[in-house]
Structure formats: structure tokens, C-alpha cells
């Protein structure tokens, strides 16, 4: 047993073992859980408490703490507890690969906990294809933003999962829009917007929103985490408004996964149980550097211990970019999306975006 993972060395059921692999301590804390809560979640699920129940209980404790602090006038403590609760509920809903009523309820609770962070975190909504795309806008507190970075996740972690990343960007004078694009978050679970061949149109709507907000002057960058890096690369290749792009842990050629849980997750993102249709959509999202060219600066991040995206899987993004403005940063011991180097990763990308989007500010 290690200090970081209370479940290490224990005899786990196949389901719990898979959950611990997908949601290790480093990912739990990267997405904003209190380290003590993260250890408790791993310990409680090792002891047999279902993942969704253990995470929801942790969130309930933090919500009680938040409301008590709020009632006593301790606003800073209340906001901290709401953020811890938001993160715990993000992980609670991850126990469900398909869009069950329980998953929707847990994600709605996550959204409500995040909304309690207002006015420091603003909810945004955009009409799109008969539905609504959602997200969270975080602004620097000391001055008007020098530029704006739009960030989105992949198949299971979205939006407010990246509040810590937003902290790093706003500390550098950048506004940060945490997007829930098609196939993600409330955009999918509540409004029925899914990933399809035209998915970049949905992500481009967040660029529209930034352009329309008079508070958000300057250049616009985009960042995709995990599978979302594929969407970011596609958008950067077709939308000249994108001034810089970061791709972190994405496959350039997506395929339908071999394992059932991963297949179910991808099917939910596409909005169908028809694996033939899922494969068709994935084939339509293939990033071909001979056809898709990235004209803006590109930063590619890779972890040498990433089991989901090998360097060869990401290398086509580099080939699509101008070699004079493309940069790759590799952590040999890096986990998927560099959970285990979160602080350094966010500082690096924050500085990189500052250099490429706000050089004259």
C-alpha cells in the first residue's frame, strides 16, 4: 500500500480495479478533489462501497461544510468546499458509462455545486442545433483579460473538471472558458447534443461566444484534453480565429475500443448503441495531416506512460503544423494527460499561451 493510493496491494474486483485505473489518485486531485477526499474515495471503494455512492457521500460532506461556512460568513472556505464537492460529483457520475438517470442526476448536482461558485465562475449557454451547449467562464480578477483560452475535455471529464487549469490561466491574466461541447456534460446529458462528423461546428460556437463578449478582447486559443485534443486540432485546422492550440493526450486516428466499458463510453458520446454508426463517426473524425493543416502555433503534450495515447498516435498533429511554430513536450513518466505533473503542465501551457496570444499586452 502506498501513501498515494489506499487501494494499492488490495484484492480488488475487476470493476473496482478498472475504476482505480481510470480514476487514480493523480487524476482525482488533478480534477480538483481534496487530497484527503481522494484517499478516502480509493479506500472506501477498496472496502466495497460502490464508487458512485462513495463519491456522492464525500460530496455531501463538503456541501454541508460549504453551506455552514456560507451561513457563518466565511466565503473563501465556502467556495473551497463547493469546489471539492463539484469535483467529487464529477467523479461520481463517471461510475456510469451510459447515460442513465443516475448519471444525469449526479451531473446535475455537480453543475449546481459549480454554479455556487458564482460570481467567480460564470455559467454560459449557447444555442446550437436545437439544443444548448454549456460551459463555465472564469475571468482574471485584477485586470481585463489579455486573451482567452477555451478548454474542453474528452469522453468522461469535462467543463469544471478543469477549474485548476483555469486558476493557472487567470493568474497569468488570461480568461478561461471551460467548455462542455457536443457529447460532453450538460450539452449531452440534458440537451441531447452528441459527437458526429460535424462536431467542430459545435466547438466553434464557443469561439463565437468569446468574440461576442465585450469583456474578452484579444486573441483566442483552444486546448483539448484527452480525446478532446482531436477536436481542438480539427478546429485549429479549419477556423482562422484560433490563434494557438494545445493538444494533450489525443489520438489522431480514433477507433472503437476493444473493451466493453470504453466502447459504452464512446457510444454514449455519439448517442447510439449502434457500433457500426460509432465506427462511422470515428472514421469521419480521423485527422489526416495531408488534408488537415494547422496554421497557428501548436503545443503537443505527451506522457511516456500514457496507456491511451502513444506518441505515435499524436505525432500526426505535429506533422500537420508549421515546424517553426510547433513544440512538443514529453514527460517520460507522464500518465494520461499528465495527471501526475499537473502543476508543471498547467504552468507550462499558461506561459505558452501567454507568449503566443498576449505578447503585446
Domain residue spans of the chain: 1-117, 119-361
What is 1-117's CATH number, 1.20.1440, 3.30.1330, 1.10.3470, 1.10.10?
A: 1.20.1440
How confident is the model over 263-303, as pLDDT tens digits? 899 999 999 999 999 999 999 999 999 999 999 999 999 99
CA dihedral 240, 145, 302, 22 (to 10 degrees): -110
How confident is the model over 111-141, as pLDDT tens digits? 999 999 999 999 999 999 999 999 999 999 9
How confident is the model over 93-102, as pLDDT tens digits? 999 999 999 9
Cis peptide before 124 (omega within 30 of 0): no
Query: Cell for 361?
Result: 499586452
pTM score: 0.96
* pLDDT band with cut points at 50, 70 and 90 for residue 361: very low
Judged on CB neighbours under 10 Å (0-12, 13-18, 19+), 125 is: middle
* Percent of the chain residues topping a pLDDT of 70: 96
Characterise 226 by phi-psi region: left (phi > 0), alpha (psi -120 to 50), beta (else). Answer: left
Judged on CB neighbours under 10 Å (0-12, 13-18, 19+), 202 is: buried
Task: Write the CATH number of the domain with boundaries 119-361.
Answer: 3.40.50.1820
* Cα separation, 152 vs 232, whole angstroms: 8
Residue the block writes with cell 488533478: 30
Q: Please name the helix (run of DSSP H) or strand (run of DSSP E) that holds residue 52, with its range, or none.
A: helix 51-71
Q: Please name the helix (run of DSSP H) or strand (run of DSSP E) that holds residue 130, with its range, or none.
A: none
Amino acid at each position: 500500500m502506498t501513501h498515494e493510493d489506499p487501494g494499492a496491494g488490495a484484492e480488488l474486483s475487476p470493476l473496482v480495479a478498472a475504476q482505480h485505473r481510470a480514476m487514480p489518485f493523480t487524476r482525482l486531485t488533478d480534477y480538483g478533489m481534496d487530497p484527503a477526499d481522494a484517499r478516502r474515495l480509493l479506500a472506501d471503494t477498496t472496502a466495497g462501497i460502490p464508487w458512485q455512492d462513495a463519491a456522492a457521500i464525500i460530496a455531501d460532506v463538503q456541501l454541508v461544510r460549504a453551506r455552514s461556512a456560507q451561513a457563518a460568513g466565511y466565503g473563501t472556505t465556502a467556495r473551497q468546499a463547493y469546489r471539492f464537492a463539484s469535483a467529487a460529483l464529477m467523479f461520481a457520475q463517471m461510475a456510469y458509462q451510459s447515460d442513465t438517470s443516475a448519471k444525469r442526476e449526479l451531473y446535475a448536482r455537480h453543475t449546481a455545486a459549480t454554479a455556487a461558485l458564482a460570481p467567480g465562475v460564470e455559467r454560459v449557454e449557447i444555442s446550437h442545433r436545437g439544443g444548448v451547449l454549456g460551459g463555465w467562464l472564469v475571468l482574471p480578477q485584477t485586470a481585463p483579460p489579455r486573451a482567452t483560452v477555451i478548454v474542453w475535455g474528452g469522453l468522461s471529464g469535462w467543463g469544471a473538471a478543469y477549474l485548476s487549469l483555469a486558476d493557472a490561466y487567470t493568474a497569468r491574466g488570461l480568461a478561461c472558458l471551460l467548455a462542455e461541447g457536443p457529447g460532453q456534460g450538460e450539452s449531452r446529458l440534458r440537451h441531447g447534443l452528441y459527437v458526429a462528423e460535424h462536431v467542430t461546428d459545435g466547438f466553434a460556437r464557443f469561439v463565437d461566444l468569446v468574440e461576442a463578449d465585450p469583456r474578452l478582447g484579444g486573441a483566442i486559443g483552444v486546448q483539448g484534453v484527452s480525446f478532446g485534443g482531436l477536436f481542438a486540432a480539427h478546429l485549429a485546422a479549419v477556423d482562422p480565429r484560433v490563434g494557438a492550440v494545445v493538444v494533450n493526450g489525443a489520438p489522431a486516428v480514433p477507433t472503437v475500443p476493444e473493451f466493453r466499458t470504453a466502447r459504452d463510453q464512446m457510444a454514449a458520446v455519439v448517442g447510439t448503441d449502434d457500433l457500426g454508426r460509432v465506427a462511422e463517426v470515428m472514421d469521419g473524425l480521423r485527422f489526416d495531416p495531408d488534408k488537415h493543416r494547422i496554421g497557428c502555433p501548436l503545443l503537443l503534450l505527451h506522457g511516456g506512460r500514457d496507456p491511451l495515447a502513444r506518441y505515435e498516435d499524436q505525432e500526426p498533429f505535429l506533422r500537420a503544423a508549421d515546424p517553426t511554430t510547433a513544440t512538443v513536450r514529453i514527460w517520460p513518466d507522464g500518465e494520461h494527460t499528465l495527471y501526475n505533473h499537473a502543476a508543471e503542465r498547467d504552468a507550462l501551457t499558461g506561459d505558452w499561451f501567454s507568449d503566443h496570444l498576449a505578447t503585446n499586452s
